[in-house]
Each structure stands twice: as C-alpha cells, then as structure tokens.
Structure 1
Amino acid sequence: MPSVEATGAKLYFEESGYGYPIIFIHEFASDMRGWDAQIGHFSRSYRCIAYNARGYPPSDVPEDPQSYGWELAVDDIAALMRHLDIEQAHLIGLSMGGYAALQFGLRYPERVGAIVAGSVGSGCHPAHRDAWLRETSVPSRIFVEHGMVTMAERMARGPARVQLKYKDRQRWREFILRLRQHSPQGMAKTMAHCQAARPSLHDLSHQLSDMAIPVLLAVGDEDTRCLETNLMLKSELPNAGLWICPNTGHAINLEEPAAFNAQVENFLGAVERGSWLRGFPATATIPSLVRSRGARRDHSLIQIDQETEGADVVRLHLR
C-alpha cells in the first residue's frame, strides 16, 4: 500500500496518469474517493495524486491530539511532494483541503503552479466566527460518543449538503457510505485541532494580497457560510478568479462534476498558456517611468490600466 512518512503519521496516497502533477486535497467530510470524477477526467492529461489526510484511514489515525492541525496539513503536502520528487504542482482542494492549499501557497509559492480552492471559508467570516468555534466543539465529541453512522446521516442532510441528494441520489448515498467508514476519533481530532484552531482567512488578507499564484475560487451559491469569504478572497488575491455555481451547496465537485471539471480545465489551460490575467488596473512600482515624468521618487506608485485587446496605449495614473 503506497504511503508517505509525514510528521507523526503515515499518509496513504494513489496516483494515476502522466504529465504535469496535480495534487488533490480532500475536504473534512470526505476523503480521496471524493475526487474520483476529477481524477478520471484529469488523469488523461496530468499526473494526478490524491491522498487521505491524517485521521482518515487507511492513513494513520494518531492518538496524540498534537499530531493534528492546519500547519501539519500544509506540511503533509510538502512531505508528499518530497516523497514523489515533485518540484512544482497544481493544487486542487475542497473546503479544508482548499484552505490547506492556500496556506501552502503562502508558505511555498515557488512550488505551486496554480491553486483551485473550492468551497473555502466555513467559519472564517468575522460575524460567524464565535458561533463557528462553539459549534465545532460539539460535533467533535459527538463523533466519538455517537459514532459515524449517526453523524454521517446528520451531516449529509445539512443545509449546504442536501443539494446533492436532490441532484444525484446515488452519489449522495455513496457520500453517506464513505462518511460511515471514517474514523470517529480521526474526525473528532481533526475538527477540534485543525478546523476549530485554524486562523480565519479574513485575518490573512494582508498576506493573501501579496500572493501572485493564479487561483480559481469555486463556490456554490447556496453555500452561504462561504460566499462572503470568497468575495473577500477575490478582492484580496491579486491573481484570482471567482466561479459561483448556481443552485449548488458545499460539495461542488460532487454536485456538478462536469461543470467543475470544465471550469478547472479552462483555468489550468489559461495558466499554462500564460493568458490567466486580471482584467482591471493593478498597482505596481515603476520608478523609472514615474521619474521620467518628473514625479518624486516617494510617489512612485502608479496605476497601470492595460487594454487586454492588444492596444498599444498604457495609461498611467499618478497616485
């Protein structure tokens, strides 16, 4: 069984296909099997790697609570890349996995080609933060006290999950069956020590504004806990696009696999062609241009408004 040695845990992984690597990072309520529709599609053109996070069998389920946390989730991506001798890869993550992908991009920008962050932001909005922290302390106990059968049914019928049932009852049943197979101890420790303890994305806005990695944000319009945070991320990330999928909840890649795959494929293609560019004015420092117009050095920030249809004129607006 293929596995990688990470800090305090062995992580199970699978890979298929050839080409530039894509690493798939699953959400809290799923595991690598949730990416089957994406791996089946993208492995025709890419080397696809998916793994189970710590706490999700057949990866290890450590007893020590200190062996869980968002920092370790970021380290696990790096450990997987080292093990597979991957210098750079695209990262595709959902929810908890999307958060880890963004944090990895902040820490190792040179090792990331592009990031797809789906359904990120649960519990991140400042107005909902206190309620989120209270809520995450309750299910972390229930996982152990009541087991995964009870929790799987409850989670699958949540307000941002039930959309899958309406769209694809078979895939919804498979989602429940996978949830029932998860480790209650692993889920409880992941919830308490990773989900609840991670910094809000809103608190990272200054750092995110300096991250130039191409990012596709994907969110369902019925995933109400994530919508505002994705709008914030769109405004802060300098090289991000936002796709909002209609009538869709949290498990966007399960609910709308064809649409999700198409959006991701178009995004990665644009990145690889060099045509993934923001279309509105960006702030840049070009002292030589400003000085040539007689401006003072300490006023060298300018706005560059570039016409995207090949125009020769670049309008410079002194700030």
Structure 2
Amino acid sequence: MPFAQVNGQKLYYEDTGGNGRVIIFSHGLLMDSSMFAPQVQALRGTWRCITWDERGHGQTADPARCDPFSYYDSANDLAALLAHLGVQKAVLAGMSQGGYLSLRCALTHPEIVRALVLMDTQALPEDPAKMVGHEALIKAWLEGGLSDEIAAVVAHIILGDNWPGTAAWQAKWRQSTPPNLLQCFTTLGSRDDISDQLGAITMPALVVHGTLDHAIDLARAQAMADALPHAQMVPVPGGGHASNLTHPAPVNAALAAFLGTLP
C-alpha cells in the first residue's frame, strides 16, 4: 500500500498517476480518502487525482495514539505529500475539515496552489451553538462506544437521512479509537478564525455547499465565497454535509465546469 513518510508522519495516499494536471482531495472529520471515489472516477481520465488519509483518520491513523496537531500541521502534511510525489502545483479540493486545511495551505504555501475547491466548509470556527451538541455526542461516544443511536446522529449530521451507503460508514466509525477521536475533535474545536485573511487567497476558488448541510450553515459558506477575491458559489439542492458523496452528480458537474476554466 502507498505510504509517504513525510513531515514526521506516515501518510496513506492513493494516486491515479500520469503527467496530467493534479487535484488533491482532503476529507472531512470521521471520513477518509475513499469519500472522493465519485470525483476520482469522474476526473481520472483528464486529471491526476490524489487522495490521502489525514492525521487520526483511515490508514494514516495509529490506533494507539494521536499526538496534538493543528490544521496548519495538516496543511504542511499536504504540501509535503505533494513534494514527495514531485508535484509542484495542484488544485486543492477539501470537504469540511479538508477545506480547513486546504485554506490554511493556500495561506502558508500559496506557491503550490493552482486553485481551491471548498466543499461544505467554512473559514470561521465552529458555531458555538452546534459545538455544544457535538461535544456531548463525542463525550458519549468516548465513554460508551458508538451506540446505534449515536451512529444515527452522526450519520444524520454528515450523510443526511436515508442515504444507501450509510451503514458502511457507520462500520468504519466503529473502528475509530479514543485517542484519535479525542485529538481530531480537539483540533476541530480549537482552530483559529481565518475569515479576515480570505482576501489574501487570490487563486480561483469554487465553493460547493449542500442546502441541507446540518453541520455548517449555507450562509457561512456564502460569506466565505463573498470574501474570497475570485470565488464562485454553487449550492447543491438537497445536499447535506458530505454533498460530494451523497449528491455526486451536481457536485461533479460544478467541479468539471470550474476545472475547465483553469489555465
């Protein structure tokens, strides 16, 4: 299996290869690189697609430990992975947490960023009202394991209701270990507010957001799009927090149209 020993980490990644232009996908909290399968399938004929598992997630995670990290560390991981693969410039596509690290990578490593695709994400910290519920959920999960009730709530937040692939993701969530859950959630809740820095991100950006996203209100994504100098906003009707996974057709259409405009 492909792993990159970079930035003090052992990062799992997948790479469609070739000499084409590069897009790298960064997943959300509790997800992994496989959540971008619909996008990779749609783009692999024309783009070199790279996906990776971030700290504390998927095959990158060490079940026994997860050292403290910030999304700036994750941004450095992304930059180091691209350098490891010999990629000088890429489109950074991130969902939720993946968007948090992609935005920070655009601020700290702008020279490697061709464009941004920001899916169901934001530049603000978590909504304090939503954070109270998230903290209670994670506390119950850590103390008693992932019950069917908690799994249903997590699925509602991330995947929406009645999506056919929910059970497979709930099975993955049951493999999460307390050290990884606790640290990844701590990183999420303690991140800084970068909304006042968006004017410095001058590369083209596509903001895609589900209209039924229960984790991040659509208005927050619109505010981010408005503050980015060269961004366009595409709402996904009926899409939830992982709209790229549950509603791939409109997301892929928006992605293809945007990528087609890049030099």
Query: C-alpha deviations, 1:124-178, integer Å up to 9, x for none?
Result: 36xx33x3444444344333322245443330133x6324x2xx42x22333233
Q: Output aligned runs, 1:74-93, within 5 Å.
A: 74-93=75-94
Unmatched segments (≥5 aa) in structure 2: none
Return the TM-score normalized by structure 2.
0.89
8 Å CA contact 2:75–2:101 kept in 1: the answer is yes
Change (3 A) 1:122 1:252: farther
Q: C-alpha offsets along residues 264-290 of structure 1, whole Å, 9 cap, x if unaligned?
A: 011011123xxxxxxxxxxxxxxxxxx
Distance 1:23 1:179, change over 3 A: same
Query: Which segment drifts farther, 214-223 or 181-190?
Result: 181-190
Sequence identity percentage = 28
Question: Which of residues 211, 219, 231 is equivalent to 1:221?
Answer: 211
Q: 1:157 to 1:232 in 2, by over 3 A?
A: closer
Task: Give the conservation status (yes or no) of the 8 Å contact 1:26–1:52.
Answer: yes
SS in 2 for 1:33: helix
Q: Distance in 1 between matches of 2:160 and 2:123?
A: 16
Aligned Cα root-mean-square deviation (Å): 2.2
Structure with max Cα Rg: 1
Task: State the number of aligned residues.
Answer: 260
Distance 1:135 1:7 in 2: 34
Amino acid at match of 1:13: Y
Instruction: Classify the secondary structure of the residue corresponding to 2:15.
Output: strand
Aligned to 1:99: 100
Runs (4+) off by over 4 Å = 62-66
Q: State the distance in 2 between where 1:9 and 1:109 align.
A: 22
Query: Which of 140, 147, 151 is equivalent to 2:145?
Result: 147
Superposed CA deviations along residues 96-136 of structure 1, whole A, max 9, x for unmatched, are: 001111111111111111110100139736xx33x344444
- Unpaired segments of 5 or more residues in structure 1? 273-319
Asked if 1 retains the 8 angstrom alpha-carbon contact of 2:123 and 2:195, the reply is no
Determine whether 1:240 maps to 2:238. no
Offset at 1:63? 5.6
TM-score, normalised with respect to structure 1: 0.75
Specify which structure has the bigger relative contact order, considering alpha-carbon pairs within 8 angstroms and separated by 6 or more residues: 2
Three-state SS of the structure 2 residue aligned to 1:55 is coil
Q: Sort the Cα spacing of 1:153 and 1:185 in 2 relative to 1 into closer, same or farther, 3 A.
A: farther
Residue type of the alignment partner of 2:173: L
**Alpha-carbon distance in structure 2 between the residues aligned to 1:124 and 1:64:** 25
How far residue 195 of structure 1 moved from its aligned partner, in angstroms, is: 0.3
Deviation at 1:62, TM superposition (A): 7.3
Distance 2:8 2:131 in 1: 26
Residue among 171, 176, 180 paired with 2:174: 180
Letter of the 2:155 partner, please give it.
A
Corresponding residue SS for 2:114: strand
1:196-215 correspondence runs (5 A): 196-200=189-193, 204-215=194-205
